[in-house]
Amino acid sequence: MHCPFCRHPDSRVVDSRTTDDGTSIRRRRQCPDCSRRFTTVETCSLMVVKRSGVTEPFSRTKVINGVRKACQGRPVTEDALAQLGQRVEEAVRATGSAELTTHDVGLAILGPLQELDLVAYLRFASVYRAFDSLEDFEAAIEELRGGRDSAPDGSAAEPAATGRGPGGTPEVPQPATAAD
């Protein structure tokens, strides 16, 4: 790949290590021209099967754009959106599957979005879960109430109401960019 600083068409690997979870390899590279160093991350290509049957690479940007729409007018920062995108990507990668459906991706968004902003969550869920009546909204709000207070009987509670990410993703915020 090109050097990200001077566009030199080549680079030299100076260090290479597998991440702790074994899902990626980080390589430290040095540009032979400008001598600056940078890091690349090699991961398994993650594909998403759309409803139409078309397969496309997983895109964190698409996740963020979709959530940003639901967050219009809400006090949600770009940083928070970026962090949500990272959590969603980590959650779907943690499934260990190389191929997902748009449904899987939507499911992975619900948990972190619920923690971020409840109104945005309801907007997103209303589209994702195809709400078509007031009762659907009421049921979703009941779920949220059940998750926040103590659930009266828990019968209406879905996994999304537990306050944890899908698959029990640990809530460990991490820097969005690779540190030097």
Is the CB of 8 or the CB of 60 nearer to Zn ion?
A: 8
| C-beta separation of 89 from 109 below 8 A | no
Residue 11 binds Zn ion, judged by CB under 5 A: no
Site for Zn ion in 33-72 (CB under 5 A): 33-34
Q: Which of 50, 176, 63 is nearest to 124 (CA)?
A: 63
Q: Give least dist CB 14 to Zn ion, A.
A: 14
The single residue listed with the structure tokens 């923690």 is 115
**By CB under 5 A, residue 6 contacts Zn ion:** yes
Interface stretch with Zn ion, choices 14-22, 29-37, 69-77, 144-152 (CB under 5 A)? 29-37
Asked if residue 31 binds Zn ion (CB under 5 A), the reply is yes
Given the DSSP bridges, would you call strands 47-49 and 99-101 parallel, antiparallel or unpaired? parallel
Phi, psi of 42 (to 5 degrees): -105, 120
Residue 10 in contact with Zn ion, rule: CB under 5 A? no
Among 96, 24, 106, residue whose Cα is nearest residue 62: 106
Task: Name the residue nearer to Zn ion (CB basis): 8 or 62.
Answer: 8
Q: Which residues bind Zn ion (CB under 5 A)?
A: 3, 5-6, 8, 31, 33-34
